[in-house]
Amino acid sequence: MTCIREKYGKHKTHLRKTELIKVKTAKNLSPDLIAPCGMNCALCANNLALKNDFKSKGIKMPYCTGCRPRNKQCAFIKKQCSKLLNGEMAYCFECDSFPCHRLKTLDARYKERYKMSMIENLNFIKKHGMQNFLEEQEKLWKCPNCGELVCCHNGICFNCELEKLRNKKEKYRWQDEQ
């Protein structure tokens, strides 16, 4: 076991090395970008905007490095969960209350708006491990044109579909309302 504190600072959670620290990364994915709530931060519009340096390309979107790298652990749930707040667990599936009401609400919104389920992500990680999860995510969210990741918030590849993104009215929706 290794302490997550070595990687992220003040947190007390202990993880198996193979689960977070030493998992072989897929081409575009890293275990560091899987938030405790099951969000794959590598698919987030704000992380992809950073990765693709949108500011230099004239596209206004906020940048984010992800929950764990920012020491936030989970931007969505942490403030409402004492176990996450105190660093007592690495992923929500480790909790006796999994899935809690807050996670269920977040999951329902993400399934409806963004075509992904955080609870399904967490169940997959729990059952099959982080390495298999990263490999499956790589396949599921891979752009058929260039091989980079497609954004979960709008279904657009931030590498090869910049014009589509520039022309999109709502950058955080899969389809613009007509």
In a domain, 16, yes or no: yes
What range does the domain containing 27 cover?
2-142
> Is residue 159 situated within a structural domain?
no
In a domain, 176, yes or no: no
On whether residue 6 sits in a domain, the answer given is yes
- Integer Cα distance of 73 and 94 in angstroms: 14
Does residue 11 sit within a domain?
Answer: yes
Instruction: Answer whether residue 117 is part of any domain.
Output: yes
What angle (nearest 5°) sits at the alpha carbon of residue 115, between those of residues 111 and 119? 50
Residue 104 lies in a domain: yes
**Digitized pLDDT (tens) for each residue of the chain, 178 residues in all:** 233 323 333 333 334 433 444 444 445 678 889 999 999 999 999 999 999 998 898 888 888 888 777 666 666 666 678 888 788 888 999 999 999 998 999 999 999 989 899 999 999 999 999 999 999 999 999 999 999 999 999 999 999 998 888 887 777 788 754 3
Cα separation of 90 and 70, whole Å? Answer: 15
How many distinct structural domains can be found in the chain? 1
- Cβ neighbours of residue 28 under 8 Å, at least 6 residues apart? 42, 138, 148, 149
Cα distance between residue 121 and residue 146, in whole Å: 24
Q: What is the pLDDT of residue 62?
A: 87
Token pair for residue 78? 């942490």
* 150: phi then psi, degrees, rounded to nearest 5: -95, 145
First to last CA, the chain: 52
178 in a structural domain: no
